[in-house]
Protein backbone atom coordinates (compact mmCIF):
# COMPACT_ATOMS: atom_id res chain seq x y z
CA UNK A 1 0.00 0.00 0.00
CA UNK A 2 1.14 3.53 -0.78
CA UNK A 3 0.46 6.81 0.98
CA UNK A 4 -0.01 10.11 -0.83
CA UNK A 5 -0.58 13.79 -0.36
CA UNK A 6 -2.80 15.27 -3.06
CA UNK A 7 -2.25 19.00 -3.46
CA UNK A 8 -4.88 21.47 -4.65
CA UNK A 9 -4.76 25.25 -4.86
CA UNK A 10 -6.92 28.22 -5.81
CA UNK A 11 -7.94 28.08 -9.49
CA UNK A 12 -8.58 30.72 -12.13
CA UNK A 13 -11.48 30.68 -14.58
CA UNK A 14 -12.08 33.57 -16.98
CA UNK A 15 -10.12 35.90 -14.72
CA UNK A 16 -12.11 34.90 -11.63
CA UNK A 17 -10.52 33.13 -8.68
CA UNK A 18 -12.14 29.88 -7.58
CA UNK A 19 -11.22 29.25 -3.93
CA UNK A 20 -9.40 26.02 -3.17
CA UNK A 21 -12.19 25.00 -0.80
CA UNK A 22 -14.69 25.01 -3.67
CA UNK A 23 -12.43 22.85 -5.86
CA UNK A 24 -11.85 20.41 -2.99
CA UNK A 25 -15.57 20.21 -2.20
CA UNK A 26 -16.43 19.30 -5.80
CA UNK A 27 -13.77 16.61 -5.98
CA UNK A 28 -14.75 15.15 -2.61
CA UNK A 29 -18.48 15.14 -3.40
CA UNK A 30 -17.95 13.56 -6.83
CA UNK A 31 -15.20 11.26 -5.51
CA UNK A 32 -12.41 11.90 -8.00
CA UNK A 33 -8.98 13.52 -8.14
CA UNK A 34 -7.32 14.94 -11.22
CA UNK A 35 -3.75 14.03 -12.15
CA UNK A 36 -1.20 14.79 -14.81
CA UNK A 37 -0.22 11.84 -16.95
CA UNK A 38 3.31 13.28 -16.88
CA UNK A 39 3.66 12.90 -13.11
CA UNK A 40 6.06 9.97 -12.81
CA UNK A 41 4.64 8.76 -9.51
CA UNK A 42 1.14 8.12 -10.86
CA UNK A 43 2.18 4.74 -12.24
CA UNK A 44 2.75 3.62 -8.63
CA UNK A 45 -0.82 4.39 -7.58
CA UNK A 46 -2.99 1.41 -6.70
CA UNK A 47 -6.54 0.86 -5.59
CA UNK A 48 -6.57 0.94 -1.78
CA UNK A 49 -3.79 3.52 -1.42
CA UNK A 50 -4.42 6.14 1.28
CA UNK A 51 -4.51 9.88 0.55
CA UNK A 52 -4.41 13.11 2.55
CA UNK A 53 -5.63 16.34 0.93
CA UNK A 54 -3.39 19.40 1.20
CA UNK A 55 -4.83 22.79 0.28
CA UNK A 56 -2.95 25.97 -0.42
CA UNK A 57 -4.68 29.24 -1.12
CA UNK A 58 -5.46 32.72 0.02
CA UNK A 59 -6.53 31.51 3.47
CA UNK A 60 -3.38 29.48 4.11
CA UNK A 61 -2.01 25.96 3.89
CA UNK A 62 -3.95 23.09 5.43
CA UNK A 63 -4.31 19.34 5.57
CA UNK A 64 -8.03 19.17 4.90
CA UNK A 65 -9.14 15.54 4.74
CA UNK A 66 -8.44 12.06 3.53
CA UNK A 67 -9.63 9.35 1.15
CA UNK A 68 -8.76 5.98 -0.32
CA UNK A 69 -8.05 5.32 -3.99
CA UNK A 70 -10.79 3.31 -5.66
CA UNK A 71 -9.01 3.01 -9.03
CA UNK A 72 -5.71 3.33 -10.78
CA UNK A 73 -5.16 6.51 -12.84
CA UNK A 74 -7.12 6.58 -16.08
CA UNK A 75 -7.94 9.12 -18.81
CA UNK A 76 -10.58 11.73 -18.00
CA UNK A 77 -14.09 10.83 -19.13
CA UNK A 78 -16.85 13.21 -20.23
CA UNK A 79 -18.66 12.65 -16.93
CA UNK A 80 -15.56 13.80 -14.99
CA UNK A 81 -14.85 16.65 -17.42
CA UNK A 82 -18.25 18.11 -16.52
CA UNK A 83 -16.88 18.98 -13.04
CA UNK A 84 -13.54 20.45 -14.12
CA UNK A 85 -13.35 24.20 -13.64
CA UNK A 86 -10.47 26.58 -14.16
CA UNK A 87 -6.73 26.41 -14.36
CA UNK A 88 -4.67 24.40 -13.57
CA UNK A 89 -7.29 21.58 -13.60
CA UNK A 90 -8.28 22.18 -17.22
CA UNK A 91 -4.79 21.07 -18.31
CA UNK A 92 -4.91 17.72 -16.50
CA UNK A 93 -5.59 14.55 -18.45
CA UNK A 94 -6.15 11.73 -15.95
CA UNK A 95 -8.00 11.02 -12.74
CA UNK A 96 -8.44 8.47 -9.99
CA UNK A 97 -11.69 7.47 -8.33
CA UNK A 98 -11.91 7.94 -4.55
CA UNK A 99 -13.86 6.27 -1.79
CA UNK A 100 -14.02 6.71 1.99
CA UNK A 101 -13.73 10.46 1.40
CA UNK A 102 -13.60 12.53 4.58
CA UNK A 103 -13.24 16.31 4.72
CA UNK A 104 -12.29 17.55 8.18
CA UNK A 105 -14.48 20.18 9.87
CA UNK A 106 -11.32 21.72 11.31
CA UNK A 107 -8.53 21.43 8.75
CA UNK A 108 -5.07 21.08 10.26
CA UNK A 109 -2.83 24.09 9.74
CA UNK A 110 0.06 22.55 7.82
CA UNK A 111 2.58 24.73 9.63
CA UNK A 112 1.82 22.81 12.83
CA UNK A 113 2.96 19.44 11.50
CA UNK A 114 4.82 19.85 8.18
CA UNK A 115 8.25 20.62 9.69
CA UNK A 116 8.11 17.29 11.59
CA UNK A 117 7.50 15.19 8.46
CA UNK A 118 10.44 13.01 7.40
CA UNK A 119 10.25 13.77 3.66
CA UNK A 120 10.80 17.49 4.26
CA UNK A 121 14.55 18.02 4.22
CA UNK A 122 14.73 21.83 4.48
CA UNK A 123 12.48 22.39 7.47
CA UNK A 124 12.59 26.18 7.20
CA UNK A 125 11.33 25.97 3.60
CA UNK A 126 8.69 23.30 4.17
CA UNK A 127 6.08 24.81 1.77
CA UNK A 128 8.43 24.02 -1.14
CA UNK A 129 7.93 20.30 -0.46
CA UNK A 130 4.29 20.62 -1.55
CA UNK A 131 4.90 21.96 -5.03
CA UNK A 132 3.28 19.83 -7.69
CA UNK A 133 0.02 17.95 -7.48
CA UNK A 134 1.00 14.72 -5.73
CA UNK A 135 3.55 13.67 -3.15
CA UNK A 136 4.30 10.12 -2.03
CA UNK A 137 4.87 9.88 1.73
CA UNK A 138 5.71 7.22 4.28
CA UNK A 139 3.14 5.45 6.42
CA UNK A 140 4.71 7.14 9.45
CA UNK A 141 4.21 10.62 7.98
CA UNK A 142 0.64 9.72 6.99
CA UNK A 143 -0.12 8.61 10.55
CA UNK A 144 1.59 11.67 12.03
CA UNK A 145 -0.69 13.97 10.02
CA UNK A 146 -3.79 11.95 10.95
CA UNK A 147 -2.91 12.02 14.65
CA UNK A 148 -2.52 15.80 14.59
CA UNK A 149 -5.70 16.25 12.53
CA UNK A 150 -7.75 14.38 15.14
CA UNK A 151 -6.48 16.85 17.75
CA UNK A 152 -7.29 19.92 15.63
85 confidence band (pLDDT: 50, 70, 90): confident
**pLDDT digit string (tens) for 34-62?**
998 776 678 889 999 999 999 999 899 99
Model confidence, pTM: 0.94
Cα–Cα dist 138/152, whole Å: 21
Degrees to nearest 5, angle at CA 133 with 48 and 79: 65
Any idea which fold 3-151 has? ph1033 like fold (3.10.590)
For the chain, give the number of residues. Answer: 152
Enumerate the domain spans of the chain: 3-151
Kindly state the DSSP code that residue 150 receives in the 8-state scheme.
H
**Region 10-21 average pLDDT:** 92
Amino acid sequence: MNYWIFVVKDHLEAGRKIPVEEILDIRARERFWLLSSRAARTRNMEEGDEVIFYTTGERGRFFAGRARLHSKPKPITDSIRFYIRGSPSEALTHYVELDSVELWKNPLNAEEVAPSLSFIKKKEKWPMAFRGSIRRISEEDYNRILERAVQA
